[in-house]
Structure 1
Amino acid sequence: MEDRLTALFDAVPDSGASQYAHMRAALAECPEPGTALSWLRNSRSARLLADLIAAGRPLTHADLDATATGTGSRSDAMIADYLRGLLVAYQVLPERDELSARITRHLDRVTSRHPEHSVLLRSYVRWSLLPRARRHQRLRGGGVKHRIRWAYTRINVAADFLTTMAAHGLSLGEVTQHQVDAWLAGNPGTRHEVRDFVVWAHRRHHARALEVPHRPKADPVGLDEDSQWDLLHQCLTDTELPLDVRSAGAILLLFGQHLTRISALTTTALSTADDTTFLTLDRTPIPLPASLARLLTDLMERPAPTGWAANTPSGWLFPGHLPGAHLSAAVLGRRLAAHHIPNRPARNTALVAVAQDLPPAILGPMLGLHPITASQWRRRAGTDWTAYLAARADGAQSPP
C-alpha cells in the first residue's frame, strides 16, 4: 500500500505537497486498505489523478473540467466527476457550486456543436435556467442530479429545435405555429420540453407567441389504503429489513417525499425538543411518532460504513460509498424495490392522504412542495374523497 502511495504522490512538487497531505494520510489509514489499494491499482480515476499530478502544477477544478469536456466522452466526464468527489472530500480541491458548474459545462459542449446558436442558448441558460435551478436548490434542497438532468434536457431540446428550424431556413423570430406543431409531431414524448425555451424567447422578444402544450400526464397511480399501511407497519416493525430501507420506506410512505430528497437528508434534519423528535423536510419541523423517531435515531447513530465512506466524516442520514457523498436516489430506489416497496405509487398515496387533512399553505412548507403542486394534490385528494363518498352513496341506494 505504501509503495503505491509513494509512486502516486512522490511526483507532486514540494510546493504542492500540502494540497495532497490529507488525502495521502486518509488513504494510508483507510480502515479497508484493500478497497483503497484496488482503487490505486485498477481504477481509471486513479490513473487520471496520476496524469494530473504529473503535470507538475497545482490541481484545480478547471483541470478536471477540461478532462471532462476534452473528448466529449460521457465516460470521461463520469470519471472526472468521480475523481472530483474524492478530491473535494479529501480537501485537495475546495467545494464549489457543482449545480452551476455542471450545467455550464454541458452548455459549453452543446454550443461547441452548435456555435451558430451560442448567443441564444447562453442567454437562455444564464437568465432563465441557472437562476431557477439555483433557487430550487436553495429553497428545496435535495440532491443536484435531478436538477442537472432537468437543465440538460431543456438545453438539448432547445438546441435541437433551433437547429431544425435553421435547416428549414428559419431564424427563431420567423418560426410560426405551423412549424412548431410539425416539429412537435415528430417526437411528442420529449419535444414538449421546448415549451420552457419558447416561452422565455417570446418574453425576451426573440420569438412570436408560440403555443407548446404541456406534456400530458397520466393520472397518478397509488396503492390501496390497506397496502400502504401494511408496508408502513412493516417498515416500522420488521427488524429483518435493512435499517436504511426501513427508514427511507417509512419517510416515503408517510410523507410522500421524492427519493432525491430522502437520499440527501442530513443528520441535522432530525432534532429533539421537550422529549419530542422532529424531522425537517423543508421549513416546518414535523413531530414524529415514537416508532419512527426511534427508527431514524437508530439510523443516525449506526456505526459508520466501511470502505471509502469511512474516510471522511459523514453528515448524511443515508451515506453513499464515496467519501462525503450521500446515497444516490437510484440506488435507494432499487433497494426499496428489492423489498417490494414501490416508489411512485407509495408517494402518490401518501400525498393524497396528507393533502386530505392539510391546506396547501401548510402542506407546501412542510413537505417542500411548490404552492401550485400543493394545490394540485389538495384538489386530487378532494376528488378522490368525493368519488369515494359517491360510490358509498350509490351502494347504499342499490336494491339488496
Structure 2
Amino acid sequence: MRDRLGTLFSTVPDDGRGAYAHMRAALIECPEPGTVLNWLRNSHSARLLADLVARGRPLTHLDLDATAGDGRAAPRTVDYLRGLLVAYQVLPERDELSARIERHLDRVVARHPEHALLLRSYVRWSLLPRARRHERLRGGGFLGRVHSAYSRINRAAEFLTAMAAQGRLLREVTQHDVDAWLAINPGTRFTVRDFIVWATRRGHACPLDVAHWPKRDPVSLAEDSHWELLHQCLTDTDLPLDVRGAGAILLLFGQHLTRIAALTTHAVTTVGEHTFLTLDLTPIPLPGSLAGLLTDLTDMPPPTNWAANSSQDWLFPGDRPGQHLSASVLGRRLAAHNIPNRPARATALVAFAQDLPPAVLGPVLGLHPVTAAHWRRRASTDWATYLEARLATPPP
C-alpha cells in the first residue's frame, strides 16, 4: 500500500504541507490497508485521481467537472472522487446542489441559445432559491431535488421550443396552446407548470394555468399489520439495527425515507431520564423501547473499512465519503424485511392526523402546512363536510 501511495503522489512534495498531505497521511494510517490497496489497484476513481495528480498543479472543482464525460459511469466516478477529496480536505466544500443545477442549465442553454435569457432568469430567480431553501429546511433528498430541477429546466426548454416552432413568442402563447401541448403527453409534461406560473407572475406571459397533476390516494396498512411491524422493529433482535431504527421511525412518525436517512445523531438527545427525537422543531419524547433502540443506533461505531467514510454524525452513514445512506438503499433494506414504505407512512400519518390539528402536526413531524392540512382532511375526524352535505340536500 505504501509503495502504491508513493507512486500515486510521486509528483507531490512530501513535506506534509501540500494539498494532498492530509489525504496521504490518512490513507497510510487506514486500519484496513487491504481495502486501500484494492481501491488503488481496481477503482476508476483512483485512476482518475492519478491522472489529475500527474498534472502537477493544484486541483479544483472545475477540473473535476471537466473530466465528467458522457459515459454512464463517469459522473458517478467523479462524484465519488469529489466526496473523497472533500473529506480529505484536498478540495473545499461547495454548494453541490447549485453547482449541478447550473451545470445542467449550461448544457440546456448550449442546445437552445435562443431561450437563454428566459431559462437563466427562471433558474436564477425562482428554481434555484427554492431548491436551496428546501434543502436547508428539510434536508435529505439531494438527488431527488437535483432530478426535479433537471426535469423542470428540460420541460421549460421543450415548451419554449415547441411554441417557437409555431411562430409564437412566450407573451403570445394562449391557454389553448398550453392545453394542446400538454395533451400530447401530460404524464411527463405537467412539470412545466412551475415555469409557466413563474412566467405569468413575472409578466413574461399572459395569464396561463396548468393544473396540478393528480396524485393517487396512498394505500394504507391494516391497523393490526402496522402495529405488528412496529412491535417487530422494537423487539426483534434478529433484524439489523439500522433496519429496526429506520422502520420504527417510519411506522411511528410517518417520515419520508429521505428525511430518515438524513437524520444525525444530534437528533436523538437525552435529558435526565428522558430521550427525545427532533424531526423538525419540536423534540418528541420517546417511549422506553424506542429510546433504547435509537440510543444503541447512535452508539454504533462508525465504519472502519475506509478512512474517508467517517460517519460524520449520521444516524445512517452511507458508503460514500461523508454522505449518509441514500433513501433508495434504505428503502430496499426495509423492503427486504417486509416493511413497506408508502403504506406504512400513510397509516402513521393518518393516525397522527386523527389526534393533532395541522398547526401542531406540521412543527412536530416537519410537514408543510398544506401537507398537514391534507392529512387532516384525509383522516376525516370532523363532521363539517357531512353537515354541509346534509344542509345542501335536506331529507324529504
Distance 1:217 1:143 in 2: 20
Q: Partner of 2:252 in structure 1?
A: 254
Alpha-carbon deviations, 1:284-317, whole Å to 9, x = none? 1111111001000101111222322675352100
What is the SS of the residue equivalent to 2:276?
strand
Q: How big is each residue's C-alpha offset from its partner over 1:251-283, in whole Å with a ceiling of 9 and x where there is no partner?
A: 000111111110010111111113111111111
The answer on 1:118 being equivalent to 2:116 is yes
Q: Alpha-carbon deviations, 1:167-221, whole Å to 9, x = none? A: 2222212222222112111111111111010000011111121121110111111
Report the counterpart of residue 199 of structure 2 in structure 1. Answer: 201
Q: Which position in structure 1 is the counterpart of 2:33?
A: 33
CA distance, structure 2, for counterparts of residue 310 and residue 206 of structure 1: 48
Residue 309 and residue 324 in structure 1: after superposition, are their counterparts in 2 closer, same or farther (change >3 A)?
A: farther
Specify which of 137, 140, 146 is matched with residue 138 of structure 2.
140
Question: Matched residue of 2:167: which SS?
Answer: coil
**1:218 aligned to which of 210, 216, 219:** 216
Report what 2:159 is aligned to.
161
Contact 1:11-1:53 within 8 A present in 2 as well? yes
Give 1:35 shift: 2.0
Q: Is the 8 A contact 1:260 1:328 kept in 2?
A: yes
**Which string of whole-angstrom CA distances, capped at 9 and with x for unpartnered residues, describes residues 344-373 of structure 1?**
111111111111111111111111111111
- Matched to 1:182, the amino acid is A
- Residues 220-369 of structure 1: pairs in structure 2 closer than 5 A: 220-308=218-306, 311-312=309-310, 314-369=312-367
Give 3-state SS (helix, strand or coil) of 1:307's partner. Answer: coil
In 2, Cα distance between equivalents of 1:91 and 1:214:
44
- 1:64 has 2:64 as partner: yes
Check whether the contact 1:16–1:58 (CA below 8 A) recurs between aligned residues: no
Unaligned runs of 5+ in 1: 391-400
CA shift at 1:325, angstroms? 1.3
| C-alpha contact (below 8 Å) 1:173/1:207 kept by paired residues | yes
Cα distance in 2 for residues equivalent to 1:366 and 1:386: 21
1: distance between equivalents of 2:368 and 2:85?
Answer: 35
Establish whether residue 149 from structure 1 lines up as the match of residue 147 from structure 2: yes
Partner AA of 1:31 in structure 2: P
Name 2:94's counterpart in structure 1. Answer: 96
Cross-structure match for 1:395: none
* TM-score with structure 1 setting the length: 0.92
Aligned residue-pair number: 384
Q: Judge conservation of contact 1:13–1:57 (CA < 8 Å) in 2.
A: no
* Equivalent residue number for residue 394 of structure 1: none
Distance 2:16 2:100 in 1: 27
Which secondary structure state, in structure 1, belongs to the residue aligned with residue 284 of structure 2? strand
Asked if 1 retains the 8 angstrom alpha-carbon contact of 2:254 and 2:347, the reply is: yes
Where 2:58 maps in the other structure, the secondary structure is coil
Partner of residue 19, structure 2: 19
Q: C-alpha offsets along residues 131-172 of structure 1, whole Å, 9 cap, x if unaligned?
A: 111111122222422222221111111111112222222221
For 1:82, the equivalent position in structure 2 comes to 80
Counterpart AA for 1:20: Y
Question: In structure 2, what is the equivalent of residue 175 of structure 1?
Answer: 173
Distance in 2 between residues matched to 1:247 and 1:296, nearest whole Å: 6
Who is 2:368 aligned against? Answer: 370
Q: Which runs of 4+ in 1 moved over 6 A?
A: none
- Which whole-Å CA distance do the structure 2 matches of 1:96 and 1:368 have between them? 26
Worse-matched range after superposition: 190-199 or 305-314: 305-314
Partners of 2:163 and 2:170 within 8 A in 1: yes
Q: Shift in Å at residue 343 of structure 1?
A: 0.5
SS of 1:327 mapped into structure 2: coil
Task: Quote the Cα distance in structure 2 between the aligned partners of 1:143 and 1:179.
Answer: 34
Specify every segment of 5 or more residues in structure 2 that has no aligned partner in the other structure, as ranges: 387-396
Q: Counterpart of 2:392?
A: none
Once the two structures are TM-superposed, the CA of residue 3 in structure 1 deviates from its matched residue by 1.4
CA distance in 1, matches of 2:154, 2:71: 16
Alpha-carbon distance between aligned partners in 2 of 1:178 and 1:88, rounded to the nearest angstrom: 50
Contact 1:309/1:322, CA 8 A, preserved across alignment: no
Alignment-mate amino acid for residue 43 of structure 1? S
Q: The residue matched to 2:322 in structure 1 has which SS?
A: coil
CA–CA distance in structure 2, aligned partners of residues 26 and 109 of structure 1 = 37
State the Cα distance separating 1:74 from its structure 2 match. Answer: 4.5
Per the TM alignment, residue 15 of structure 1 is displaced from its structure 2 partner at its CA by 8.8
Deviation at 1:16, TM superposition (A): 9.4
The SS at the match of 1:306 is coil
Q: TM-score, normalised by structure 2?
A: 0.93
CA distance in 2, matches of 1:170, 1:78: 40
